[in-house]
Structure 1
Amino acid sequence: MLYLALKYLHVIAAIFLFGFGMGSFLYLIAANRTRNPQVIAHVCGMVVRFDSWITTPAGFLQLGTGYLLMKLAALPLDSPWLLTSLVFFIGVGALWLPVLVLQKRMHGLALSAVEQGLSLDDRYHHRYQKWLWVGICGFLGMFVVVLMMTTKLTPWQWLEMLLA
């Protein structure tokens, strides 16, 4: 029963991590396309809060429940899919901190532009471009992690199957 409860929490955490992360990502892209500093400041503030309060804790829950599931199932950490998914997950997590920092800075720049009645300057757009590409890399990594989580196969094993 404990295993099933942990598995449920693990899947829910993955849904929150992926769902809220992707939703925040797409909302901020849409807000940025308006070029309206007021819209961008508002949406960016919400994205920072949601990513801090929901997405980040879901990532820690994902890692914790994954570890406990591995222990309960007596899976060796060096099994290919598990080790590879952990490496990818840590890599995605390493991208997450810069994303949060960039979002907070973008929010501050957008708020400042609103307060001064200005348009967004190059500092904002430069940070937005970095945020966008780091986010794309992070989500590509998460797609791979979810693939491994659901199939227990590495990307290389998938490639072997597709090419065979």
Structure 2
Amino acid sequence: MLYLGLKYLHVIAAVFLFGFGMGSYLYLIAASRTANPQVIAHVARMVVRFDAWITTPAGFVQIISGYLLMRVSGLPMTTEWLLTSLIIFFCVGALWLPVLLLQKRLEIMASTADATGQGLSDDYRRVYRQWFWMGVMGFAGMFVIVLMMVTKMTPVQLLSVLA
């Protein structure tokens, strides 16, 4: 019963981590496409809050529940799919703090542009591109992690089975 409870918590945390993260990402992309500093500032402010209050804690629940699942199930840390998913998870996590900081910078730049009546600067577009591509890399990693959670195989193992 403990295993099933932990697994449920782990899956729910993954849904929150992935779902809120992807939602925030897509909302800020959509807001940025308007080129309206007021819209961007408002959406960026909400994205920063949701990522700080929901997505980040879900990441910590994911780590804790994953560790406990590993212990309860008796899987060694050296299990290939598990070790690979942990490495990717920590790489994605290493992108997270810079992404949060870039989102905050985008919010400040859009708020400043709105307050001064100026358009968005080239600096905004540069920071946005950095944020966008870090998001692409992060979500690519998350897709791979979910694949490994479901199949219990690394991508290389999965490809060899499919070939």
Scaled to the shorter chain, the TM-score interval is over 0.9
CA distance in 1, matches of 2:94, 2:127: 17
User: With structure 1 as the length reference, what TM-score do the two structures score?
Assistant: 0.98
Q: Which residue of 2 aligns with 1:16?
A: 16
C-alpha distance in 2 between matches for 1:150 and 1:92? 19
Structure 2 residue ranges without an equivalent (≥5): none
**1:1-164 alignment runs, 5 A limit:** 1-163=1-163
Runs of 4+ in 1 over 3 A off after TM superposition: none
Distance 2:46 2:121 in 1: 21
Identical aligned pairs, as a percentage? 66
- Structure 2 distance, partners of 1:62, 1:13, is 6
SS in 2 for 1:78: coil
Q: Which amino acid aligns with 1:128?
A: Y
Q: How big is the shift at 1:158?
A: 1.0
RMSD, aligned CA? 0.6
In the TM superposition, residue 6 of structure 1 has moved relative to its aligned partner by: 0.9
Offset of 1:92 from its aligned partner?
0.5
C-alpha deviations, 1:103-140, integer Å up to 9, x for none?
Answer: 01111111111111111101111000000000000000
Aligned partners of 2:151, 2:87: CA distance in 1, in Å?
Answer: 17
Q: What residue ranges of structure 1 are gaps of 5+ in the alignment?
A: none
Residue by residue over 1:8-65, the C-alpha shift from the partner in whole angstroms, topping out at 9 and shown as x without a partner, is: 1100000000000000000000000000000000000000000000000000100110
Q: CA deviation at 1:162?
A: 2.1
Which amino acid in the other structure matches residue 7 of structure 1? K
Instruction: Read off the aligned partner of 2:157 and give its amino acid letter.
Output: Q
